Chain A
Amino acid sequence: MQVIDPSIALEGTTPIEEERVRPVTRRTGADRAFRLTTFGAGTLTLVLMGVIGLFLLVRSWSAISAAGLSFFTTSAWQPDGGAFGIAAVLLGTFLIAFVALGFAVPLAAGGALFITDYAPSKIKTPLVWLVDLLAAVPSLIYGLWGRAYLQPKIIPISEWISTHLGFIPFLKAKPGAGFAASTFIAGVVVALMVLPICTAVMREVFSQAPAGEKEGALALGGTRWGVVRDVVLPFGRGGMVGASMLGLGRALGETIAVTLIISPTFDITRLTHPLETGGNSIASLIALRFSESSSFGISALMAAGLALFVITLLVNAVASLVVSRSRSGASTEI
């Protein structure tokens, strides 16, 4: 699980680039070595990132070239039988992530607003600590807890939803289908895991809402809810979208907690009924199949890993962009 530093998400964004006056200096040898070393370290991270993609691509090439475009349309995963593709696991990954966001985003927004605008100042700092601590709890422990404690508590809810809201097609469970180890339960656990990052980023954005405008609204006779609705929320809209996407990026890559909870299925119709037993994700596919795969099977898993890598990078890049855009007006004054 990630330790949160909200600025991780918000960075690359410092809106005002300070123009430092650079005095003309003669650099000593030590200076030049210093600059060169740090520059080298910076370049090394760039190279590392490229190398990660490159190695995954090279190792997955034999599987990709064997499968071709069917890699994206096949739902089964039998690399040694010839038929394998990420259609089912990709769908499962996104379903778990969407269930997770459905719970995490409203809760994170409420929690973040509570911290910035409602909490008494005495409990503000402990709350921020607690959210950060929640982010530091290893994903493994979420998985254990989710399976042992949360799952028995959620199954009756799933049953209830299925019987009473069954008129919505995808919520209707087949008669006789179980409710354990489902996409829904995995999604709830992942929701708890992405909650801290979403809360931290939203709190950061909400706390930047211009104080002058908030005070202005209060001075005009606005209530606290009025201030939140008309100043804080409009100001933080972009940040909320960005925070949700950052949460999406984390949810897509979550491995161990999901692996511990779901019982893997490659059946698309079962996957699209999130309350029923059975779910899947790319990361848990890799974790479960890795040790028992042939070398071609490993190549296929590398291809799945490459797909996950590319997707999370894209989601994260867009999220950073959205968050940074939303902050660009941070310095408005009255």
Chain B
Amino acid sequence: MPNLTTPDIATTNIEMTAVPDLIETEQRIGLRSIDPTAVFAVVGAAFGAMAFVWLLFTQFTAAGTNIGMFVVWYLVFITMIWVIGREQYDPVRARDLVARVVFWSAGLIIVVPMIAIATYTIAKGVTALTPNFFFQDQSRVGPLSPARVGGASQAIVGTLEQVAIAAIISVPLGILVAIYLNEVGGRLARVVRTIVDAMSAIPSIVAGLFIFASFILAFGGQLSGFAAGLALAVLMLPTVTRTTEVVLRLVPGGLREAGLALGATEWSTTRHVVLPTARSGIVTAVILGVARVIGETAPLLLTTLGAVSMNWSPFEGKQSALPLYVYRLFQLPQEVAIQRAWTGALVLLILVFVLFVTARIIGGRGPGHISRFRRARLAREGLA
């Protein structure tokens, strides 16, 4: 390949440990094993840096913000590790040790936001999480009612209906497109794949603008849950398509060929071999699509404005939705409103989490996995 940048091992100056003088002194580099002296060095450096920072910030100067202290501590910590590494081993291994510590810190930092967001949302939201949150709406809630009065049932119903509408539109379409890309193919497939990629990058607010411009302004539809569902469908389609396509690609070609070799037509091979094999993956694709849109707020601002009382019909009149409920209440000045918003956010976070874990568990099964339920049915039919 012309634009390949693979390094040429022979000419690249790879970081190497010093060549040992004598064969007997050769020390092996443990790639996975943990060297106790190195651990000692790291722990020691951590404490040493802490002591240094304490001296610097409290004894020598009076300054000190928490974060500044932490940054200085980390820099001193890394320097100390490097110095210790140089003293104990050699410069190359010192650099290796520093790199190891830096990458471990990066890995730790990635974990932090998820934990921080989850714990903060739980702490803030759990106080007003009562059963009536799911069964009452906001129509009887005054500005002075305590946070545990009333609920978000109108928003939950709205979200369920809107996401269902989005799924009804985009799931069949997405699966069909994925089948087209992977099973049928053709000259247009490449273009379609590129466009689906591009679609996954559409800002969610633009999807809302599009539905407002088309469904509401051009075709005279009203601001409603249905319009919101349409906007969500635009956002859900690329996720469903791409995930399904990836799953279909995992179906072994041998199965298809076996089907065709037995004289099955293309359609019946897809229907009876490919799709059943990829079933769990397709379910995962659908769940991931739902998780993608369930918390979308921006398109709802333009398509259904939200409501305080229950509106069962997605086709008539404005409808609330959980993200909208949270967004609106969070901007009110009352403390109780903000508390209700956090409860809504907590419910949303739990929904996303449950959907995500379900998708992973189902998706974790290999292609062709037969559930216990299905095995029982097959046994009844005398097939297994």
Binding site for B on A (CB under 8 A): 1-3, 5, 7-9, 11-12, 23, 25, 27-28, 30-31, 33-35, 37-46, 48-49, 51-52, 55-56, 58-59, 107, 109-111, 113-115, 117-120, 127, 129-134, 136-142, 144-145, 148-149, 153, 156-157, 160, 192, 195, 199, 210, 213, 216-218, 220-231, 234-235, 237-238, 246, 249-250, 252-256, 260, 283, 286-287, 290-291, 298, 301-302, 305, 308-309, 312-313, 315-317, 320, 325, 328-329, 332
Contact = CB atoms under 8 A, between A and B. Distances in A.
29 contacts: A1-B295, A3-B288, A5-B246, A7-B242, A8-B197, A9-B197, A30-B268, A34-B270, A38-B176, A44-B173, A49-B195, A52-B206, A55-B213, A56-B206, A118-B104, A130-B114, A133-B353, A137-B114, A138-B352, A142-B117, A148-B120, A217-B9, A220-B14, A230-B12, A286-B205, A287-B205, A312-B202, A316-B201, A320-B194
A236 to B, nearest CB: 10
A231 B288 CA distance: 34
Given A117-B103, A225-B96, 15 more contacts: A2-B239, A5-B243, A12-B194, A56-B210, A59-B213, A111-B109, A118-B100, A138-B295, A139-B298, A210-B6, A217-B14, A224-B31, A286-B205, A308-B205, A320-B194
Given A8-B197, A144-B345, A235-B6, A225 B100 contact: yes
A131 B111 CA distance: 8
Contacts of A153: 67
B5 interface: yes
Contact of B199 (A49, A156, A235): A49
Contacts of B14: 217, 220, 222, 226-227, 230
Chain A interface mostly: helix
Given A59-B217, A141-B117, A149-B120, A42 B106 contact: no
The 6 residue pairs across chains A and B that have the minimum distance between CB atoms: A138-B295, A253-B203, A110-B106, A226-B15, A41-B176, A114-B107
A153 B197 CA distance: 37
A114 B265 CA distance: 48
A30 B265 contact: yes
Given A130-B111, A328-B1, A256 B12 contact: no
B291 interface: yes
B273 interface: no
B369 interface: no
Given A56-B213, A238-B5, A305-B205, A133 B298 contact: no
B81 interface: no
Contacts of A227: 14
Interface string B59-72: 00000011110000
Nearest to B349: A141
A291 B107 contact: no
A178 B110 CA distance: 30
Given A52-B202, A142-B117, A45 B195 contact: yes
Contacts of B17: 221, 223
B356 A136 contact: yes
Nearest to B194: A12
Contacts of A35: 184, 266
Contacts of A111: 106-107, 109-110
Contacts, number: 357
Interface in B242-279: 242-243, 245-246, 260, 265-268, 270
Chain B interface mostly: helix
A137 B12 CA distance: 43
Nearest to B299: A255
Interface string B90-130: 00110110111011111101110110110011001000000
Nearest to A331: B1
Contacts of A134: 110, 113-114
B151 to A, nearest CB: 19
A309 B206 contact: yes
Nearest to B179: A38
Contact of B103 (A113, A130, A157): A113
Contacts of B181: 42
A315 B32 CA distance: 40
Q: Which of B19, B68, B107 has the most CB of A within 10 A?
A: B107
B213 A137 contact: no
B289 to A, nearest CB: 8
Nearest to B175: A41
B201 A250 contact: yes
